[in-house]
Structure 1
Amino acid sequence: MAKKAWIARNEKRKRTVEKYAEKRRALKEAGDYEALQKLPRNASPTRVRNRCSITGRSRGYISRYGVSRIKFRELALQGKIPGVRKASW
């Protein structure tokens, strides 16, 4: 489980990205890079980290399912992810 502060910080970044998305798009189209630099650093979407929706783990994230590899395996073995089953050959 990730620290609560890390998860909260990432959520705050997501809100900041949403808040400035339209303004960033307009500045980029206009080519006004000086004004773009004056926006908050966390307004950039690349600052947001993909995290597991259950544990908050940042590494081993599977974007298609929105969970980490560990939780993905647990959920798949329990049969809670539709269409996923253990391979056997």
Structure 2
Amino acid sequence: MARKCLLVKSFIKKPKYSTRNKSRCPLCGRPRGYIRQFGMCRICFREKALRGEIPGVRKASW
């Protein structure tokens, strides 16, 4: 419940200074591990990439 509350607050209320703006994952609300290019956290990114829901992303092998 606390996580949902923070998620709602972060989308509604604008911070006093722009540097205080914290990116959050729109799927789970996680504030850390956010990947800007894909707009989600690393955990959600990994799950979606493994399911093949993100075009052009595949598991690395070398």
Structure 1 length-normalised TM: 0.62
Q: Tell me which residue corresponds to 2:8.
A: 8
Alignment of 1:1-89 (within 5 A): 3-13=3-13, 16=14, 42-89=15-62
Deviation at 1:85, TM superposition (A): 0.2
Q: Distance in 1 between matches of 2:45 and 2:58?
A: 11
Structure 1 segments unaligned to the other structure (5+ residues) = 17-41
Letter in 1 for 2:32: R
Letter in 2 for 1:7: L
Structure 2 segments unaligned to the other structure (5+ residues) = none
Structure having the higher Rg? 1
Structure 2 length-normalised TM: 0.86
Q: Distance in 2 between matches of 1:53 and 1:3?
A: 12
Q: Which has the higher contact order (CA 8 A, sep 6+)?
A: 1
**Aligned residues: percent identity?**
49
- Number of aligned residue pairs: 61
Letter in 2 for 1:11: F
